[in-house]
Every structure is written in structure tokens, then in C-alpha cells.
Amino acid sequence: MLTRGQEGEASIVEASRTPQPMSRREWTIVLLLMISVIINYIDRSNLSLAAPLIRQQFALSPLQIGSLLSAFFWTYALMQITGIAGWLSDRFPVGWVMVGGYVLWSGATVITGLVSRPTTIYIALLLLGVGESVAYPCYSRIFAELPQEHRGRANALIDAGTKLGPTTGLFVGGLLLVHFGWRMLFILLGGGGLLWLPPWIKAMPRFGRRVEVESAAGLSSMVKLLRLPCAWGTFLGHFCGNYFFYFMLAWLPTYLVGEEKMSIGAMSRLSSAVFLLIATCTLIAGAISDRLIAAGASPTRVRRAAVVGGLGVASSLLALAFVHHNLPLSIAVIAVACVGYGAFASNHWAISQTLAGAAMAGRWTSLQNGIANLSGIVAPWIAGLIVQINGSSRLAFVITGGVALVGAFLWGLLVRRVEPVDWEALA
């Protein structure tokens, strides 16, 4: 619970065990964060949209373009695995940490459109990763203050934003790409995103470090965190879920253009529809889970069912091993898998925030997101290697389904209960 001095400044407080509707101010903050993650994913997905043109202009091999697509994730993951991003969100006023990261990633997006060589594009993407690395620790630090029955919707909105970002970016970006070229794609979207800053600075939460839990936080070292089986369930299970998403984000446009011979316009429309489907399923699953918990259902049962069952359905990509030369059926299989991924994505962050509590939300999330986003390095690289060897990405889709199935087992076996960790009681 917040101290009295902080209660006057904090906008999101778990003040009662009785279910209460979210306040207008809480909704404003959550919706602004949703918009920020939409912009976040527009900026990080621009390269996958522009990849066919960049590959052609610079005569890059499939493996080289796969390496370029993974560049962002090196710094993005490193900043979180080392705990730097989480420490910043726990130690300093979280609203201002978000501002700093946002300015850096928007600037890096603009720079990507201005540079003239693959090497300098790679460097700009590394800067993009640094800026975006603070986003999820900040989201979790803020949402850890929400009551349990609101976290599903709040996290579902954030995760829907991660799909609406590619949906919007692929649709609008496709138009910009056709009419203005790939450089203006980065410049216009990166610069335009800065319009988000003024309303955020006005509405952002003003709380900083939770001084009232300082004794508990002092005992809650990263060593204790790393000894928890449930922590490793969230880390590795999230890696498997992210592998699915980042493979689709990075490779679906290239697959549709390169192997299915779609035009840029047709590719952007179909890719947008795929991510819109995920976003819709995420919002529905998040709302249902919160309603069930508010009605008295166990958070453990509800949240685990969503993540385990969701990844289980996402593993249906394995069926592509038996589908050949049939684009409609292949797209149908991909759509079913995306429905499952949407259900998973609506609840996995709510589990971590509940386990960590407000004292450790930033650091737990930072480490989890860092490990999970190593998949952003691995998935595009493996896909590029498979295409370079086989001339087809069919096997890459099948491997992605297998990874999702492993993730379902990890969440089910290692995350047994969804309740706050008693940090003081840990030896």
C-alpha cells in the first residue's frame, strides 16, 4: 500500500478488495499507454515491411536480412536481462522514465530513414532497442498498482496495442511505401509519433519508488528471483510465446511477397488482418478473464487456462507440415494459431505482475522481457537460414508451432499458483 504522501499523487492504487470500476484517470493512463505501445510496435515493425525493398536495394541475402531484422533485439534484450531497464522503472519516477525512452526510440526511427548503408541502419536499430527497452517495465510498474480484477483488461489493451501497431503500420506503412519509398516511411512515422508526448506528460502517474516496501524490496534480491521455479516458467514460457509473435511479425511479409508472390499492397492488407485478429482475440480474452475473477473465480485457474490453452492452440501451426501449395488453407491454419496466441497474450503479463507485486514488478518484468525478446533475435535468424538452405519458409512455420507447444508445457508445469510471492519469507 502507498504511503499517505504518495496517495495524493498516485493515480492507480489498490485501495480495496471490493471490485470497483476503473476511474476516469486510470482509463486515461491505460489508454495513453496503449497508444504508446501501438506506436512502439509501428516503429519496430517498419523494417519487416520495408525489408523486401531494402533487401533489393542493398542486394542482401536471406540470412543478411534476417540478421538485420534481429538487430533491434540485441540491445532491447540486453537492457532488460541486465536489469537496467527494470531498475530505472523501479528507482525513478516511472512517467519520466517512459518519456526518456519514448524520445530515444522515436529519434532512432527517424534516423533509420536518413542513413544510407546497411551498417548504419543496424546501428540505428540498436538505438531503437535501447529506447523501447524501458516500455514494458514501466507498464508493469504502473499496472502493479491496479487491483487484480483490472489487470487482465489493462494488459489486454497493451497487448492489443502490440498487434494494432503492426496492423496500423502495415496498412498505413504500405501506402507510404508505395507512394514515398521506405526512407519516408521511417521519417514520417517516427516524427509523427512525438505527438503522443504532450498528453502523456500531462496525465502520467507521478509516483516513483515505493518507499513503504523498502524493507521487503531490500530482501528481494535478483538471486531470490532467479531461484523461483515460477519465475523461470514466466521467463521461458514468454520466450516461446514471443517466438511465435516475432516470427510472424518479421517473416510473414517476406513470406507473402517472396513465396506467395503477393504485391506490396496485398501483403500489407493480409498482414494487417492477421494482427488485427490477434488484437481482437486478446481484448476479448482479457475482458472475459477479468469478469470471471471479479465474479469470484480463482486467478490461478483463469490466468493459467488462458496462457496454457492459448499457446496450445497456437501450436496448430504444426499442421502446416501437411499443407502444401494451398494458400487459403495455409492462411486458415495461421488464423487459428493466431486466435490461440491472442488468448495467451491477454493474461501472461497479469500473471507476472501478480507474482512480483509492486515491490519487484519492474525488475521481474525487465528480466522476463529481456529473456523473452531473445526470441526476436533467434526467430528471424532461423527463418532466414531455413529459407537460404531450403528456398522455402514452410519448415520455419512448423518449428514456430513446436516452440509454442513447448511454451504451453512450461507455463503449465512451472507456474503453479498465481498469487504474490512473499519476498520476506524467502530464505
Residue 3: what pLDDT? 39
Per-residue pLDDT of the chain (427 residues; tens, 9 = 90+): 333 333 334 334 333 445 677 778 888 999 999 999 999 888 877 777 787 788 878 878 777 777 787 788 888 888 988 878 888 887 888 889 999 999 999 999 999 888 878 888 889 889 999 999 999 889 888 887 777 677 777 888 888 887 788 778 777 877 888 788 888 888 988 898 899 999 999 988 875 554 344 434 444 467 888 889 999 999 999 999 999 998 988 788 878 887 778 887 788 788 888 888 998 998 899 889 888 988 889 989 999 999 999 999 999 999 988 887 788 888 899 999 999 999 998 888 889 888 987 777 778 888 888 899 888 888 888 888 888 888 778 889 999 999 999 999 999 999 999 998 887 777 6
C-alpha angle with apex 110: 80 to 57, nearest 5 degrees?
105
**Which residue in the block uniquely carries the three cell numbers 533491434?**
72
**Which residue in the block uniquely carries the three cell numbers 521455479?**
229
Residue 207: what pLDDT? 59
Residue 119: what pLDDT? 85
Handedness of CA 83, 88, 105, 348 (dihedral sign): positive
Question: Among 170, 163, 168, 169, which residue's Cα sits nearest to residue 342?
Answer: 163
Cell digits for 95?
A: 512517467
Determine whether 64 is exposed, middle or buried from the number of CB atoms within 10 Å of its CB (0-12, 13-18, 19+): middle
Residue 196: what pLDDT? 94
Residue 316: what pLDDT? 94
CATH of 23-425, one of 2.30.42.10, 3.90.1150.10, 1.20.1250.20, 3.90.870.40: 1.20.1250.20
Annotate 252-318 with DSSP letters as a single string.
HHHHHHHTS---HHHHHHHHHHHHHHHHHHHHHHHHHHHHHHHTT--HHHHHHHHHHHHHHHHGGGG
